[in-house]
Amino acid sequence: MKKKNNSLIKASDVARWMLNQINKKRELYQNEVVYLMEDKFGSQFVYENRNGNLAINPEVLKEFRKLTEKTVIWSRIEFCWRIRSADDPKVGRLAK
């Protein structure tokens, strides 16, 4: 994957890319997308968390939440975001 000019990219751009990925695949696994994101957009959009794992920058997640508040849900069991289904709770972002 080719990196774009990192100085021109904003967290909202990365969040829109995440939304495009989830619209294509219907689900987006955090442990996969974080590496794709770093490769495509640069290390400023990821960080190493206290467990030593690569994680998504909170600003990107904030922008992603804004874009997907009603349409995407987080599955704690799968550690992924997915398109909200009719069986999911109508309020909140967590799947049961």
> What residue segments make up the domains of the chain, in order of their start?
10-85
CATH of the structural domain 10-85, one choice from 1.10.287, 3.40.30, 1.10.10, 3.30.310: 1.10.10
Tell me the pairing of strands 27-29 and 80-83: antiparallel
Task: Give the tokens for residue 49.
Answer: 């968390």
- The span from the CA of 85 to the CA of 59, in Å, is 26
pLDDT digit string (tens) for 45-88? Answer: 999 999 999 999 999 999 999 999 888 999 888 899 999 888 87
User: Is 60 exceeded by the pLDDT of residue 4?
Assistant: no
Q: What is the pLDDT of residue 6?
A: 62
The pTM assigned to this predicted structure is 0.84
Report the chain's mean pLDDT, rounded to a whole number.
Answer: 88
Q: What is the pLDDT of residue 91?
A: 60
Q: Say which amino acid occupies 35.
A: Y
User: Is 60 exceeded by the pLDDT of residue 3?
Assistant: no
Q: What is the pLDDT of residue 1?
A: 46
